[in-house]
Amino acid sequence: MTMAEVKAKEWGNSIGVIIPNDIVKHERIKKGDIIKLELTRKTGKSGFGMFKKMAPFKREHDHRDDDF
């Protein structure tokens, strides 16, 4: 079984997904083929950009790094 994570997009009055080309080639999918999809909705939100307004991370001095 081949798996891919894709984003559902509006397509006219419907919702559609695009099958990535590498999967189309691997599975030898052709126009007109009937394919079976198993759907699983990904839950949770992406953390991308969630900390963009925070100050940059600054490392405090770690005395374990000092030479003896």
DSSP result, 8-46: -EEETTEEE----HHHHHHHT--TT--------PPPS--
Structural domain that includes position 3: 1-34
Q: What DSSP state is assigned to residue 65?
A: G
Number of domains in the chain: 1
pLDDT at residue 55, as a whole number = 72
Q: Report the chain's C-alpha Rg in angstroms.
A: 23
Measured between alpha carbons, how far is 52 from 18 in angstroms, rounded to an integer? 30
User: Is residue 4 one of the residues assigned to a domain?
Assistant: yes
User: Is residue 29 one of the residues assigned to a domain?
Assistant: yes
pLDDT at residue 42, as a whole number = 79
User: Is residue 39 one of the residues assigned to a domain?
Assistant: no
User: Is residue 65 one of the residues assigned to a domain?
Assistant: no
pTM (two decimals): 0.54
User: Is residue 3 one of the residues assigned to a domain?
Assistant: yes
pLDDT at residue 44, as a whole number = 66
User: Is residue 46 one of the residues assigned to a domain?
Assistant: no
Mean per-residue pLDDT pooled into runs of 10, the chain (68 residues): 89 94 94 92 70 70 62
